[in-house]
Amino acid sequence: MRLIVHNMLQCHVKGCDSNNFPLQLSDVELEIHEIEYNHEFLQSLLTKLDWKAFVATAEQIGITSLPQTFPEEIDEDFLKKLHRILFETHIVEGKMICSNCSHEYPIRDGIPNMLLNEEELE
Protein backbone atom coordinates (compact mmCIF):
# COMPACT_ATOMS: atom_id res chain seq x y z
CA MET A 1 0.00 0.00 0.00
CA ARG A 2 1.41 3.33 -1.02
CA LEU A 3 1.34 6.36 1.25
CA ILE A 4 -0.89 8.23 -1.19
CA VAL A 5 -3.54 5.58 -0.52
CA HIS A 6 -3.10 5.84 3.24
CA ASN A 7 -3.81 9.57 2.94
CA MET A 8 -7.30 8.73 1.64
CA LEU A 9 -8.29 6.21 4.28
CA GLN A 10 -10.22 6.94 7.44
CA CYS A 11 -11.83 4.80 10.09
CA HIS A 12 -15.36 3.75 9.17
CA VAL A 13 -16.45 2.00 12.34
CA LYS A 14 -20.06 2.85 13.18
CA GLY A 15 -20.25 6.08 15.16
CA CYS A 16 -16.56 6.82 14.71
CA ASP A 17 -16.77 10.10 12.85
CA SER A 18 -14.33 12.48 14.49
CA ASN A 19 -10.57 12.27 14.93
CA ASN A 20 -10.71 9.19 12.69
CA PHE A 21 -8.10 10.44 10.21
CA PRO A 22 -5.26 9.86 9.58
CA LEU A 23 -4.96 6.28 10.81
CA GLN A 24 -1.82 5.78 12.90
CA LEU A 25 0.74 3.41 11.44
CA SER A 26 2.31 0.80 13.63
CA ASP A 27 4.80 -2.07 13.21
CA VAL A 28 5.27 -1.26 9.56
CA GLU A 29 7.59 -2.93 7.12
CA LEU A 30 8.48 -0.81 4.11
CA GLU A 31 9.63 -1.54 0.59
CA ILE A 32 10.69 0.80 -2.16
CA HIS A 33 9.39 0.10 -5.66
CA GLU A 34 10.61 2.58 -8.20
CA ILE A 35 8.18 3.90 -10.77
CA GLU A 36 8.54 6.53 -13.44
CA TYR A 37 8.33 10.13 -12.27
CA ASN A 38 5.27 11.90 -13.69
CA HIS A 39 5.28 15.61 -12.98
CA GLU A 40 1.67 16.33 -14.02
CA PHE A 41 0.23 13.37 -12.15
CA LEU A 42 2.06 14.30 -8.98
CA GLN A 43 0.98 17.93 -9.21
CA SER A 44 -2.66 17.00 -9.70
CA LEU A 45 -2.57 14.70 -6.70
CA LEU A 46 -0.98 17.29 -4.46
CA THR A 47 -4.15 19.36 -4.56
CA LYS A 48 -6.05 16.43 -3.03
CA LEU A 49 -3.43 15.51 -0.47
CA ASP A 50 -4.04 16.31 3.19
CA TRP A 51 -0.58 17.73 3.83
CA LYS A 52 -0.72 17.78 7.62
CA ALA A 53 -1.82 14.16 7.77
CA PHE A 54 0.81 13.20 5.23
CA VAL A 55 3.63 14.84 7.20
CA ALA A 56 2.47 13.20 10.45
CA THR A 57 2.29 9.83 8.73
CA ALA A 58 5.71 10.20 7.15
CA GLU A 59 7.14 10.96 10.59
CA GLN A 60 5.65 7.73 11.92
CA ILE A 61 7.71 5.77 9.44
CA GLY A 62 10.89 7.74 10.07
CA ILE A 63 10.72 10.37 7.34
CA THR A 64 11.29 13.65 9.15
CA SER A 65 12.50 15.83 6.30
CA LEU A 66 9.13 17.26 5.25
CA PRO A 67 8.12 20.82 6.15
CA GLN A 68 5.10 21.17 8.46
CA THR A 69 3.37 23.47 5.99
CA PHE A 70 3.40 23.06 2.25
CA PRO A 71 6.15 25.33 0.89
CA GLU A 72 5.12 28.31 -1.21
CA GLU A 73 7.88 27.70 -3.67
CA ILE A 74 8.60 24.17 -4.76
CA ASP A 75 11.33 22.92 -7.00
CA GLU A 76 11.89 19.71 -8.88
CA ASP A 77 14.03 18.23 -6.09
CA PHE A 78 11.19 18.66 -3.65
CA LEU A 79 8.69 17.08 -6.05
CA LYS A 80 11.01 14.13 -6.64
CA LYS A 81 11.25 13.64 -2.91
CA LEU A 82 7.45 13.64 -2.67
CA HIS A 83 7.26 11.19 -5.55
CA ARG A 84 9.56 8.89 -3.62
CA ILE A 85 7.53 9.05 -0.44
CA LEU A 86 4.03 9.07 -1.92
CA PHE A 87 4.35 6.65 -4.81
CA GLU A 88 7.47 4.54 -4.30
CA THR A 89 7.31 3.82 -0.59
CA HIS A 90 5.08 0.82 0.04
CA ILE A 91 3.83 -0.45 3.37
CA VAL A 92 3.94 -4.21 2.99
CA GLU A 93 3.18 -5.27 6.56
CA GLY A 94 1.85 -3.52 9.64
CA LYS A 95 -1.34 -2.06 10.94
CA MET A 96 -3.30 1.17 10.97
CA ILE A 97 -4.89 2.22 14.22
CA CYS A 98 -7.74 4.70 14.63
CA SER A 99 -6.88 7.49 17.10
CA ASN A 100 -10.52 7.76 18.10
CA CYS A 101 -11.86 4.22 18.56
CA SER A 102 -8.56 2.26 18.48
CA HIS A 103 -9.81 -0.08 15.76
CA GLU A 104 -6.89 -1.81 14.06
CA TYR A 105 -6.79 -2.31 10.31
CA PRO A 106 -4.12 -4.84 9.36
CA ILE A 107 -1.92 -4.53 6.28
CA ARG A 108 -0.68 -7.82 4.83
CA ASP A 109 1.28 -8.37 1.64
CA GLY A 110 0.82 -4.69 0.87
CA ILE A 111 -2.98 -4.79 1.06
CA PRO A 112 -4.96 -2.94 3.75
CA ASN A 113 -7.86 -4.86 5.24
CA MET A 114 -10.60 -2.32 5.86
CA LEU A 115 -13.25 -4.93 6.72
CA LEU A 116 -15.08 -4.60 10.01
CA ASN A 117 -16.72 -7.11 12.30
CA GLU A 118 -20.48 -7.31 12.08
CA GLU A 119 -21.10 -5.24 15.19
CA GLU A 120 -18.91 -2.45 13.85
CA LEU A 121 -20.90 -2.02 10.67
CA GLU A 122 -23.38 0.75 10.09
For Zn ion, give the closer residue by CB, 10 or 89: 10
- CA end-to-end span of the chain: 25
Please report whether residue 23 would count as binding Zn ion according to CB under 5 A: no
Please report whether residue 97 would count as binding Zn ion according to CB under 5 A: no
Beta carbons of 96 and 24 less than 8 angstroms apart? yes
Beta bridge partners of 2: 90
Residue 59 Cβ vs Zn ion, minimum distance, rounded to whole Å: 21
Q: Which of 86, 91, 98, 107 binds Zn ion (CB under 5 A)?
A: 98
**In terms of Cα–Cα distance, which of 119, 49, 118, 121 is closest to 83?**
49
Q: Which positions touch Zn ion (CB under 5 A)?
A: 11, 13, 16, 20, 98, 100-101, 103
